[in-house]
Structure 1
């Protein structure tokens, strides 16, 4: 299943400012906080789920007038008939009650949110130097402590966002505020424009037969756990003279590892290893991304991958690549390193967008 964020129109997620190169994405853990920033410096910071379901998330877009949001959600108990008061009436900062003006906040029983930039900034100022936010009220039978949000690492997370968006020392900064004017904050970087895919002629039965017999049958890879007789081969047209060939290699509980090749559609049917090149460094090494749960759309020329960190689907990496006639170019990338149950819907933090 492809995560929901991949299916959303990318144009709605970004805007274009000519003349500014893309930013290197950032994703890092600061004690109990995770920061994720994409290639146009749209950033998010959220608390970990070691809080019995109480989660705080902050988002901010780049630029002097970058939009911001804050939300607090209680995800542990899904019983909407609970007699407990709404969480807005029960949240405490360092033991003192937090107050929320309902004209400025969207308040539900288990959800509080605001997209008012001033309100978000004031809330950040209120909690920035705190130690924890706790949910008061009666404990459930299985609970021994009140659900809470640790603020350990929040200031470092806010500073990382200030640095990523070049807000340090300006009046708009969340952690490193100064007297520099708002105009000192640079605009968002440019959004990469993806090449158009020209849909080629479909593969004929004779082409499929020839490629399979001359190329797929000759592939040897001792690193594959699947026996050669069990390796399924799939062929997709890329251009009128090239095709994508994928070969199932290893099967896990919820991930299928695939080998990829660019093959010619005419004799002598040469095959080259498909190597995906990242425009930024993802992770600790520079190894090219693996083809995991790979899928190719013949109409759009988009190759999708989905690497689940565990069967629950709350963590992992997903990507989309567009074929430009010669190679695959990254179109979208999302990563959720924290397997803590928060991102079960597959809406993982976005690190790369395009238009």
Structure 2
């Protein structure tokens, strides 16, 4: 099942490369049954995609930071509902056993996780060059993971991190020793809001904002009582206010548009610039949540109700603008948890 707003999602991904401010473009690439991407500091991730009709879901997540000495990580996830502290499993690559010396551990949701040891990662990737499928046997269930595209995905990551033909490459090794270091992590200082607003003041501001849009002939936000009840306003520093109007609602997505105003005068309203918004107007976000105590804004545009695909991102109020602080995504709805999605932008927020 594809994401419902896939055209907009693909446009979003395409825009990332154009909008990148670092030396490395943020990208996500498809390699048959695998997806791979790197963020703004050259941290790269690759994911296997379970089949759309799989009843037993398992997937592999590979990741590696930039720099010659950065280790490669590989984790196997198996979805289920195991209640025991650990679960025995067997791994086979095209029918040939791949030895692991420990059991998988379920998390709070029951998903099993097996983290490969460093020596196992290299051995697994070497074996995967000749294999097409990983079979995972657990009590009462067998799941499969396609390896089609896995080698190409890791080779692409080696290329993005400048490892090709070096001793630290995982696929195309060489004698080279020079590998670019990770880029510095951007640092953003977030500013908290100033004070609080009463419910009456919030209602007055949001009502005035909607009336101003109507006078201007704007039809961005639907005029619906249920949506209006979700309108919000927050005081920021310097006497400014942030207004969020609920513009449209779906089964599991609420789209909100944001404006900044001086004092309480909606005539001064300016759309908040939010790069990578989800519509033609970049002051809108889906399932957004602003915390005035921290000055941070988060959003989660769901591709479907269970939240196994879509876009997750965050911004921080700096006192002048909202700066992007994080972005991760999953373009296909295949049961992959948001924590495992491919990160395309990261930063440190103080």
TM-score for the superposition, normalised by structure 1? 0.77
Q: Which range moved further: 322-331 or 51-60?
A: 51-60
Structure 2 matches for 1:1-355, cutoff 5 A?
A: 21=22, 23-50=24-51, 52-75=56-79, 77-79=80-82, 86-88=88-90, 91-100=91-100, 102=101, 106-108=102-104, 111-116=113-118, 118-135=119-136, 147-181=143-177, 184-203=178-197, 208=202, 211-212=205-206, 214-220=208-214, 221-227=218-224, 230-232=227-229, 233-267=231-265, 269-277=267-275, 288=282, 290-343=284-337, 347-355=340-348
Cα distance between partner residues in 2 of 1:30 and 1:160: 9
- 1:46–1:57: 8 Å Cα contact kept in structure 2? yes
Aligned to 1:3: none
TM-score for the superposition, normalised by structure 2? 0.78
* Cα deviation code 1:8-31 (max 9, x no counterpart): xxxxxxxxxxxx946322222211
Cα distance between partner residues in 1 of 2:143 and 2:203: 61
Residue correspondences, number: 313
* Cα deviation code 1:73-129 (max 9, x no counterpart): 332x43558xxx9323xx2222222223x2xxx43375532242x432232112223
- 1:64–1:186: 8 Å Cα contact kept in structure 2? yes
Gaps of 5+ in 2: 1-20, 106-111
How big is the shift at 1:230? 5.0
CA RMSD of aligned residues (A): 3.1
Tell me which protein shows more strand as a share of its residues: 2
Please give the secondary structure, in 1, of the residue aligned with 2:181.
Answer: coil
- 2:22–2:40: 8 Å Cα contact kept in structure 1? no
How big is the shift at 1:179? 1.5
Gaps of 5+ in 1: 1-19, 141-145
Please give the secondary structure, in 1, of the residue aligned with 2:237.
Answer: coil
- 1:30–1:156: 8 Å Cα contact kept in structure 2? yes
